[in-house]
Amino acid sequence: MTGILAQLSGALASGRVEIVDLTHRLTPDFPVMVLPPEFGQCAPFRKTEVSAYDHRGPAWRWNEITMNEHTGTHFDAPSHWITGRDVPDGATDSIPVRNFVGPVVVIDFTAEAAADEDALLEVAHIQAWEDLHGRIPADCWVFLRTDWSKRQGAAYLNLREDGAHSPGPSPEAIRFLVEERDIRGFGTETVGTDAGQAGHLDPPYPAHATLHGAGRYGLQCMCDLDRLPATGAVLLAAPLKIENGSGSPLRVLALVEKEG
């Protein structure tokens, strides 16, 4: 008899289960969230050589890196938002590790996002998805695929004088996912879990407010969501164990079973 893990190892070795990387490279010019300048900002990624097989260290190469907890492909812990400040186990070091591995479903919102850069995911979109793929199971990650990660440079944040323009969930949709479907977390390809104009919604930044207030997690700045099936993938997303951290850059991987 072979156990589940042995079967998984076999499937990974044979290629029947593929590991998909949903992570952007950490580079100095990857866009970060921009706030009004009087607020503290999200520091972009920076890397400085400490030595590179030279007089600073003859046989080794290593770099010093700096960034914000919310730089690049990153995880939002509940305590990131004021609504989640009192959530038990709401920081990166106290979240139960079982929550870092689990199922994920992907809602394809690419057509809507292509048609309207401010497109909001509504409850009706979720219900239409469920008509095709079945009810979203409890304690599951939900990813919103928009293909936004394929945008380059200034088109990614899509900042204009009235702020950023990018898709995200409506207040009702995120409440539906948390309260009616009891999801574990919500993930996006955009710079945040909320839409670019979400500051004007009620409540402002509904994904942050609702998810984190209910002790749920966020993942953002992901890429290659088009390589995931609508259902059936397993997500591996463990933030760094930062003491009382509000979030963390991380490597987001998905296990995908190949058909046939």
Partner 1 sequence: MTEPLQPPPKKNPLKRTRVPVSPPGTRSRAATALAVMAAEGRFALQHCADCGRIQYPPRDLCRACLSGALQWRDTDPMGQLVAETAIRATPDTHFRDRLPIRIGTVLLDAGPSLICRLHGDVSGDDRVRVINRIDAAGQAILLALPLKEVPHMQDDPALRALSCDPRHRRVLITDARAPEAPALARALLKAGASRVFLGLPEAWKPFPARSELEDIGNCSIMPLDVTDIDSVRELAAGIGGKTDILINNARFIRPGGALARPDTIFARQELDTGCLGLMRLAQTFGRAMAARGEDGVNNATAWVNILPIGALVPQPGFGLSSATGAAALAISHGMRADMRGSGVRVMNLYTGPMDDEWHQELPPPKVTPSALARAIVSALIAGQEEATAGEIARDLHARWRDDPALAIREALAK
Please report, as ranges, the residues that interact with partner 1 according to CB under 8 A. 28-31, 34, 37-38, 40-41, 43-44, 46-49, 153-154, 156-157, 159-160
CB-based contacts of 34, cutoff 8 Å, min separation 6: 41, 42, 157, 159, 164
Q: How far is the CB of 28 from partner 1 (least distance, A)?
A: 4
* CA 92 from centroid of its chain's CA atoms: 14
One-letter amino acid at 225 equals L
Nearer to partner 1 by Cβ, of 16 and 165: the residue is: 165
Q: How many helices and strands, by DSSP H and E, does the chain display?
A: 6, 15
Q: How far apart are CA 223 and CA 188, in angstroms?
A: 9
Amino acid at 148: W
Q: Tell me the catalytic residues.
A: 80
Q: How far apart are CA 184 and CA 75, in angstroms?
A: 13
Nearer to partner 1, 166 or 170 (CB): 166
Least Å from the CB of residue 32 to partner 1: 9
**Considering beta carbons, is residue 11 or 159 the nearer one to partner 1?**
159
Of 3 and 28, CB closest to partner 1: 28
Rounded CA Rg of the chain: 19
Give min distance, CB of 48 to partner 1, in A.
6
Shortest distance, CB of residue 58 to partner 1, whole angstroms? 20
